[in-house]
Structure 1
């Protein structure tokens, strides 16, 4: 039973990883990561799964390694199950984080908060002027304290003030 569980986990992580790395995992309702930015549109789906492919493959490889060790040792099945599933879970969380980061700019642009999603890190039409299109702040954006009205530090350390509502 334990080897079967590890095999199922390895296949469920390995197939999407393989398809995503080849960019052949199309938007579907059966296979893939189910995170709101990733499912926003097809561009976000492709970007998120491409970013997560390596981490999903690492999770699949860990489950397969635990499966192989199950056949080599007779008394460590439970330990290998816990280690293999723990590794797969950790890789799934890392894949979800990477997919969310990669898909958020595409999801924002598709929602009408910016221009069409470019493939390179460029500024999106309606995004904050201090935020690159791929979601990482510029070097100038070093601090946030919206409760003080300061949203970042500009060139030379001058504070950027949040707009005041009249």
Structure 2
């Protein structure tokens, strides 16, 4: 049970951080920073691009975070034998949704910049 719990705790923490980040992004209260956020050339061009991009990416980020939380619960339920498999699936899940969120943020930030220029 030690392996299952030691696998689940980091997944759970990461999942809650992702959900918290998605919440802040959705409410547009996530400031530009060096630690948390989607830092692409498009989202870093301005505060507005950052805010709009992250608001657009909030749902994919939240889906990824909830997937990590589910992977943490699964790791505990399946026990020692399959805890690592649950962690690997959770990591793949968050990676996919972060790519989706990054693409979504980039498109929204570009659209916001183009709207300002017109």
Q: TM-score, normalised by structure 1?
A: 0.62
Aligned mates of 1:5, 1:88 — CA distance in 2 = 13
Quote the residue 2:104 is aligned against.
98
Q: State the aligned residue count.
A: 112
The partner residue of 1:89 within 84, 87, 95 is 95
TM alignment of 1:1-166, pairs within 5 A? 1-74=6-79, 75-107=81-113, 109=114, 117=116, 124-125=117-118
Cα drift, residue 30 of structure 1: 2.3
Cα drift, residue 2 of structure 1: 1.5
Cα drift, residue 8 of structure 1: 3.6
Q: Please say if residues 75 and 84 of structure 2, whose CA atoms lie closer than 8 Å, have aligned partners that are also in contact.
A: no
SS of residue matched to 1:30: coil
Deviation above 6 Å: which 4+ runs of structure 1?
Answer: none
Aligned mates of 1:56, 1:99 — CA distance in 2 = 10
Cα drift, residue 12 of structure 1: 3.4
Aligned mates of 2:26, 2:14 — CA distance in 1 = 18
- Name stretches of at least 5 consecutive residues in structure 1 with no aligned partner: 110-115, 118-123, 126-166
Q: Quick one: higher RCO (CA 8 Å, sep 6+), 1 or 2? A: 2
Q: Please say if residues 44 and 50 of structure 2, whose CA atoms lie closer than 8 Å, have aligned partners that are also in contact.
A: yes
Cα drift, residue 73 of structure 1: 1.6
SS of residue matched to 1:16: helix
**Greater Rg by CA:** 1
Cα drift, residue 106 of structure 1: 3.3
SS of residue matched to 2:105: helix
- Name stretches of at least 5 consecutive residues in structure 2 with no aligned partner: 1-5
Aligned mates of 1:26, 1:97 — CA distance in 2 = 19
* TM-align CA RMSD: 1.6
